[in-house]
A and B are shown apart, each in its own frame.
Chain A
Amino acid sequence: MEYIHRHINPKMALISRSFEDWYKKFSKEEKIWIITAFIVAIILATTTVTWHIFDSKHQVPSYSKEIDPYVFKEMAINFSREYNNKFIPPNVDIYIAAQQYYWSVQKIILKKNTDYRFYVASLDVIHGFTIVGNGVVYNLMVMPGMTYGFTINFNKEGKYYVICSEYCGYGHGEMRMIIEVIT
């Protein structure tokens, strides 16, 4: 490091400095910035925590329950048999099973501005339940052996796609379901 030595004070040659040399007081600007950084973090954290009070209708679903995949499969098949490609009455719970590489229903028709209760689970590997369309993007994980229950209320009519957003195998990109929302 002789070359470097020529340019600088030798005692700083290896960038190691004595305690007195580096232990400096914080300047005014540094103090301002430390306080700002913490305030920003507190603003971010407070916003997300208080959002539970301000808007309880846009939250990560809190219902999840362990379930035997075979039991859930039965529920999803029953639902699909009755309601696939059909209009779902508002008080009917929707059961969707994810499996390599399809959803247990191909299409459902929902009513606008109506609460619908969904239960989603996987029968094999991890999947992702992603709703896209009309400016809407919602992403939830779908786990094997665990039902995820959530309520959705679509505020715009139109066609929405449900795709799989967590890699589940080669046919992953082909998993598709349509949610049609009508008035």
Chain B
Amino acid sequence: MDLVKFKADNKTKQVIFANFLMALVSIVIGGIAAIFIAIGRSGISELFSLLNINHEYYYRWLTLHGMNMLIFWILWFEVALLYFTSTVILNQSIHGYKIALTSLTTMLYGQILVEYSILSGESDVLFTAYPPLAADNLFYAGYILFLLGTGVAVILFFVNIYKAKVNETYKGSLPLVTWGAAIAGIIAITAIFQGIIILTNTLAWKIGLISINPMTYRWFFWGLGHNAQYVNVVATIAVLYALIVLGTGFKTINFINERYAKLAFALVTLFVIPGIGHHILVDPGFSTILKQASGSVGSHFLSVPTMLHAFALLGALEATLRSSGHTSLLGWIRKIPWKNPAMATIVLVLISFGIGGITAQPLTTLQPNLNYHNTFWVPGHFHFMVAGGTTLAFMTLIYYMLPILISKRIYSIKLVTIQIYLFFLGILILGLSMIMLGYEGVPRRTLINSSLLPSWSISPLILVGGTLAITAGIMFVLNVLLTILLGKQGENIFEGFITNYDIKETSNVSKKGSLVVCFIVIVILLLIFFISFVRLTYMPSLY
């Protein structure tokens, strides 16, 4: 019966499970909002009027989608992940159970306030809520409460690591997953700190106590938004390291150079703060030197750690396959276990991050950004990062985490594999069509008649991609709910989720193939980067 044992008690599991359930609720709300947005942006006005959506509703759905997906779903799951990596993985029960519940309640109240204020129609300000555009007081209050609760959870995570260290619940060094989560935690603190400061100021401004400078808000808000996005990136990569060992029954562990991975994690903390400025590249009021240094140069170095991780993960996958017999330069790619959820996810997430990283270059570079800022290119880029990358990785981790938490088998493994590929396909179509539309100049946050320019005609692809991704999302939620309600307890709860390898060689396995793949990506990245400069020279001069 009870094959998966840990020392973590039921209270620990409850806390993780509760946070995880809230993540699930948030992704459902965000997903429902996504349907209306996809219809809105598809440019099919018949469908639009049929559903009686007007501009007011469109921006309301967009606010709801942004808040639920970027803030609630991701942060709830990340809190669950932090608890998981600091208790279950470290072989201990949670310390500060009551504090965890307090944090949970605070976050819950915060979320309810925000959702209520959005749905009541008083806060159609989008997730960035730039003043002087004002939302309802409840919106800011809820936002602050949610961030406060998250902050408490992050601190509790560090306390638990400390307790584990003191009580010696684990041998040797901190596991790589927990290490990555700790880096995410450090960045999260900086993000939450800046977020709470600026939102508190904004609430005070709304009540009428102080005045607020829109430019200051933008700088601090992106201190929250930008850093929080790197929390996501780091958490995603930590999850991928967990998936790569879980999916191969821990066989891959010898092929991950932890020193290399930990160096890459540490580099993120070094480069994350100087990169904030890439959100204000075309704002008045900031000096060109600041924009160049912080926005452009700072952000370029931020791509270094992600590149290192990509090679580490792909290399570990390659080495596993090579050492079990596939020795040609790129022949191992065909032998990737495509039906294994963890392995498939790693490859798909790396592809997503690859496209996201490549499309990020014109955005974060001072001059070409003039052509891409606030166009559809931006959500195209970040859907690859947040949806195709982070969300996909989190979804798959849930398939591995849930059986451990509730000792039940995932209801349908077939649905898992279909869901992963369908979701990726959806995001691929959605993201690529957004990128193409953005290239033509379609604005990201403007519900605009697509007949304005004839080249905007591919908009319906957004609905196609969106529908596929949402369908996959429904499959995910359904499968998880069925697992919780009807999942079978029993032996081999990981059956079908682990591919076993007969490892012959553990040292000095070549990772040449991954290096070749990574170099190809670099060539494409540089090409897109330089093409964006060439494109700029053909534009009317602007200075």
Q: A residues bordering B, Cβ < 8 Å?
A: 1-4, 7-8, 11-12, 14-19, 21-24, 26-27, 29-30, 32-34, 36-38, 40-41, 43-45, 47-49, 51-52, 55-62, 64, 66, 124-126, 128, 130, 132-133, 135-148, 150-156, 161, 163-173
Beyond A137-B371, A163-B448, whether A155 also contacts B540 by CB under 8 A is: yes
Beyond A16-B174, A47-B529, whether A24 also contacts B257 by CB under 8 A is: yes
Bound complex: CA A137 to CA B373 (Å) = 9
Bound complex: CA A58 to CA B133 (Å) = 31
User: Which residues of A have CB within 8 Å of B311?
Assistant: 29-30, 33
Q: Which of B341-349, B470-478, B510-518 contacts A (4 or more CB under 8 A)?
A: B510-518
Beyond A125-B130, A130-B441, whether A37 also contacts B304 by CB under 8 A is: yes
Considering the complex, give the chain A residue whose CB is closest to the CB of B261: A22
Set A22, A138, A143: member contacting B542, Cβ < 8 A: A138
Set A27, A130, A133: member contacting B257, Cβ < 8 A: A27
Beyond A17-B173, A163-B448, A164-B446, whether A64 also contacts B3 by CB under 8 A is: no
By the criterion CB–CB under 8 Å, are A64 and B5 in contact? no
By the criterion CB–CB under 8 Å, are B541 and A153 in contact? yes
By the criterion CB–CB under 8 Å, are A166 and B374 in contact? yes
By the criterion CB–CB under 8 Å, are B174 and A58 in contact? no
By the criterion CB–CB under 8 Å, are A29 and B374 in contact? no
Bound complex: CA A136 to CA B498 (Å) = 51
User: Which residues of B have CB within 8 Å of A146?
Assistant: 215, 284-285
- B358-400 vs A: 1/0 string, CB under 8 Å? 0001000111011111110000000000000000000000000
By the criterion CB–CB under 8 Å, are A38 and B4 in contact? no
Instruction: Give residues 523-543 of B contacting A (CB, 8 Å).
Output: 525-526, 529-530, 533, 536-543
User: Which residues of B have CB within 8 Å of A141?
Assistant: 280, 282-284, 373-374
Bound complex: CA A58 to CA B447 (Å) = 29
By the criterion CB–CB under 8 Å, are A32 and B371 in contact? no
By the criterion CB–CB under 8 Å, are B126 and A1 in contact? no
State how many angstroms separate the Cβ of A142 from the closest Cβ of chain B.
8
State how many angstroms separate the Cβ of B156 from the closest Cβ of chain A.
20
By the criterion CB–CB under 8 Å, are A48 and B172 in contact? no
Beyond A27-B511, A125-B130, A132-B453, whether A22 also contacts B259 by CB under 8 A is: yes
Q: Does B335 contact A (CB under 8 A)?
A: no
By the criterion CB–CB under 8 Å, are A33 and B515 in contact? yes
- B157-186 vs A: 1/0 string, CB under 8 Å? 000000000000011111111100000000
Beyond A14-B170, A27-B257, A165-B443, whether A64 also contacts B493 by CB under 8 A is: no
Q: Does B124 contact A (CB under 8 A)?
A: yes
By the criterion CB–CB under 8 Å, are B366 and A170 in contact? no
User: Which residues of A have CB within 8 Å of B373?
Assistant: 139-141, 165
- Counting residue pairs across A and B whose Cβ atoms lie within 8 Å, the total is 308
By the criterion CB–CB under 8 Å, are A41 and B304 in contact? yes
By the criterion CB–CB under 8 Å, are B284 and A57 in contact? no
Beyond A22-B173, A26-B257, whether A144 also contacts B374 by CB under 8 A is: no
Beyond A17-B258, A155-B540, whether A128 also contacts B443 by CB under 8 A is: yes
Beyond A30-B257, A130-B443, whether A2 also contacts B249 by CB under 8 A is: no
Bound complex: CA A66 to CA B213 (Å) = 12
By the criterion CB–CB under 8 Å, are B543 and A1 in contact? no
By the criterion CB–CB under 8 Å, are B512 and A167 in contact? no
User: Which residues of B have CB within 8 Å of A62?
Assistant: 287-288, 543
User: Which residues of A have CB within 8 Å of B369?
Assistant: 60
Set A16, A45, A133: member contacting B453, Cβ < 8 A: A133
Set A2, A17, A51: member contacting B172, Cβ < 8 A: A17
Q: B residues bordering A, Cβ < 8 Å?
A: 3-6, 55-56, 59, 89-91, 124-126, 130-133, 170-178, 214-215, 218, 242, 245, 249-251, 253, 257-260, 280-285, 287-288, 291-292, 296-297, 300-301, 303-304, 307-308, 311-312, 315, 361, 365-367, 369-375, 404, 439-441, 443-449, 452-453, 492-494, 498, 500, 508, 510-512, 514-515, 518-519, 522, 525-526, 529-530, 533, 536-543
Bound complex: CA A163 to CA B137 (Å) = 30
By the criterion CB–CB under 8 Å, are A151 and B512 in contact? no
Beyond A163-B446, A169-B133, A170-B56, whether A58 also contacts B539 by CB under 8 A is: yes
User: Which residues of A have CB within 8 Å of B284?
Assistant: 61, 64, 140-143, 146-148
A and B contact pairs by CB, cutoff 8 A, 23 listed: A2-B4, A4-B4, A4-B250, A8-B251, A15-B242, A16-B170, A17-B173, A21-B172, A22-B259, A23-B258, A29-B512, A48-B292, A60-B369, A61-B284, A125-B131, A126-B133, A136-B540, A139-B373, A140-B370, A152-B541, A153-B541, A165-B443, A166-B445
By the criterion CB–CB under 8 Å, are A14 and B443 in contact? no
Bound complex: CA A161 to CA B455 (Å) = 14
Bound complex: CA A15 to CA B283 (Å) = 46
Bound complex: CA A130 to CA B178 (Å) = 44
Bound complex: CA A44 to CA B300 (Å) = 7
Beyond A7-B249, A47-B529, A48-B297, whether A26 also contacts B259 by CB under 8 A is: yes
Considering the complex, give the chain A residue whose CB is closest to the CB of B215: A143
Bound complex: CA A114 to CA B132 (Å) = 36
Beyond A8-B249, A44-B365, whether A138 also contacts B370 by CB under 8 A is: yes
State how many angstroms separate the Cβ of A9 from the closest Cβ of chain B.
8
User: Which residues of B have CB within 8 Å of A14?
Assistant: 89-91, 170, 175
Considering the complex, give the chain B residue whose CB is closest to the CB of A11: B171
Bound complex: CA A159 to CA B540 (Å) = 13
Beyond A143-B214, A146-B284, A153-B540, whether A38 also contacts B124 by CB under 8 A is: no
Beyond A15-B89, A153-B541, whether A33 also contacts B518 by CB under 8 A is: yes
User: Which residues of A have CB within 8 Å of B372?
Assistant: 137, 139
Beyond A7-B249, A27-B511, A139-B375, whether A61 also contacts B297 by CB under 8 A is: no
User: Which residues of B have CB within 8 Å of A126?
Assistant: 130, 132-133, 214, 218
Considering the complex, give the chain A residue whose CB is closest to the CB of B164: A16
User: Which residues of A have CB within 8 Å of B245?
Assistant: 15
User: Which residues of A have CB within 8 Å of B525?
Assistant: 40
State how many angstroms separate the Cβ of A95 from the closest Cβ of chain B.
15
Bound complex: CA A141 to CA B132 (Å) = 14
User: Which residues of B have CB within 8 Å of A163?
Assistant: 443, 446, 448, 452
